[in-house]
């Protein structure tokens, strides 16, 4: 049965924000979007966790949204991150994204201030009433300090603009409860959990590893959709080690930016309080990339 936002099914990629000498590298951003277009990726998600949104200024955040939409030029969908722990700020950013031509907005649950479930509901309700574009609720309690409980998400699904869920709790029980009770398009927020989530009714992934191997992650989703479970399982096994280390060696996006630098696709620059991958971990990452068959430089 079709879900609410089927056009976002498949592979979306949470792209990095490229920096050079501490400033946004617009040329590299456009290159990375072209890379995703060539891979056949469904959607890019700039200025999320992977895009280091917490360390961007308001002007930079808006600039990345606008430049991503311009570079996409209608060739690929764009779902920028517009969340905040301030409802007013989230509304402002989401309105900006809608006006700039975004196809949807990826909105993380309010972080740090730990609102009640009613507060979370009212936060997303305000957003849903402020814009016409679809909203993807991003539930990642390890980052926000507060789980968006299934009952709250089911209640939010009554609002037409709430169309998707980026599920990053790691709980198949929670995902199953939501899938059984709503027609939301549920997307995996953990690369290594993509196949398990597809198996219970998820429709794709918002991927970090897709920054380097979008074709393989897309192939996994496509194989599952085609009913080729053996190929999907083989790709899951192939991708697992890469997914684990790109998200487990250090806080995202430290490892993915290091990997992209090793592959000649980014400077690897990150902003404080994030710091570069420590040399022993960088050596391990280099081994993982090489073992996967990726063309590591140097």
DSSP state letters, 187-216: EESSGGGHHHHHHTT--EEEESGGGT-HHH
Give percent of the chain above pLDDT 70: 100
Positive or negative CA dihedral for 132, 146, 11, 82?
positive
Q: What size, in residues, is the chain?
A: 298
Per-residue pLDDT of 265-278, as tens digits, reads 999 999 999 999 99
Does a structural domain hold residue 242?
no
| pLDDT tier for residue 53 given thresholds of 50, 70 and 90 | very high
| Structural domain that includes position 205 | 6-228
What is the pTM for the complete model shown? Answer: 0.97
Q: 58 pLDDT band (50/70/90 cuts)?
A: very high
Mean pLDDT, the chain, integer: 97
Q: Cα separations (Å) of 238 from 42, 76, 206, 235?
A: 22, 26, 18, 5
Collapsing DSSP to helix, strand or coil, 166 comes out as strand
Write out pLDDT tens, residues 163-192.
999 999 999 999 999 999 999 999 999 999
**pLDDT tens-digit series, residues 105-128:** 999 999 999 999 999 999 999 999
Does residue 296 form part of some domain?
A: no
Structural domains counted in the chain: 1
Q: Is there a domain that residue 219 lies in?
A: yes
Residue 46 three-state SS? coil
> Rounded to an integer, what distance in angstroms lies between the CA atom of residue 106 and that of residue 53?
12
- Alpha helices per DSSP H over the chain: 26-39, 58-72, 87-100, 117-130, 141-144, 150-156, 172-181, 194-199, 214-225, 229-248, 254-262, 279-292
Residue 254 lies in a domain: no
Residue 255 lies in a domain: no
- What pLDDT score does 1 carry? 73
Q: CATH no. for residue 215?
A: 3.20.20.70
Token pair in block for residue 238: 């192939």
Residue of 105, 104, 142 lying closest to 252 (CA atoms): 142
Is residue 267 included in any domain, yes or no?
no
Residues belonging to the active site = 138, 166
Position 259 in a domain: no
Location of structure tokens 């939010």: 156
Q: Does residue 248 belong to any structural domain of this protein?
A: no
């Amino acid at each position: 049965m079709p879900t609410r936002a089927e056009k976002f099914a498949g592979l979306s990629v949470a792209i990095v924000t490229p920096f050079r000498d501490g400033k946004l590298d617009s040329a590299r951003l456009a290159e990375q979007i072209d890379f995703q277009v060539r891979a056949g990726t469904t959607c890019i998600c700039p200025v999320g966790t992977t895009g280091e949104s917490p360390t961007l200024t308001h002007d930079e955040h808006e600039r990345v949204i606008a430049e991503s939409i311009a570079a996409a030029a209608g060739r690929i969908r764009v779902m920028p991150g517009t969340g905040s722990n301030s409802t007013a700020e989230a509304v402002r950013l989401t309105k900006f994204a809608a006006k700039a031509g975004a196809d949807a907005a990826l909105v993380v649950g309010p972080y740090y201030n730990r609102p009640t479930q009613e507060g979370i509901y009212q936060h997303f309700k305000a957003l849903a009433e402020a814009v016409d574009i679809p909203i993807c609720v991003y539930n990642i309690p390890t980052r926000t300090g507060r789980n968006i409980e299934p009952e709250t998400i089911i209640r939010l699904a009554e609002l037409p603009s709430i169309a998707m869920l980026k599920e990053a709790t790691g709980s198949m029980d929670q995902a199953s409860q939501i899938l059984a009770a709503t027609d939301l398009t549920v997307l995996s927020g953990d690369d290594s959990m993509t196949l398990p989530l597809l198996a219970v009714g998820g429709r794709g992934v918002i991927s970090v590893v897709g920054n380097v191997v979008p074709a393989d992650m897309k192939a996994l989703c496509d194989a599952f959709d085609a009913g080729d479970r053996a190929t999907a399982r083989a790709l899951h096994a192939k991708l697992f080690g890469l997914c684990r280390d790109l998200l487990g060696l250090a806080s995202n996006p430290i490892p993915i930016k290091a990997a992209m630098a090793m592959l000649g696709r980014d400077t690897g620059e990150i902003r404080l309080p994030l710091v570069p991958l420590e040399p022993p971990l960088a050596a391990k990452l280099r081994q993982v990339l090489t073992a996967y068959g990726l063309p590591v430089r140097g």
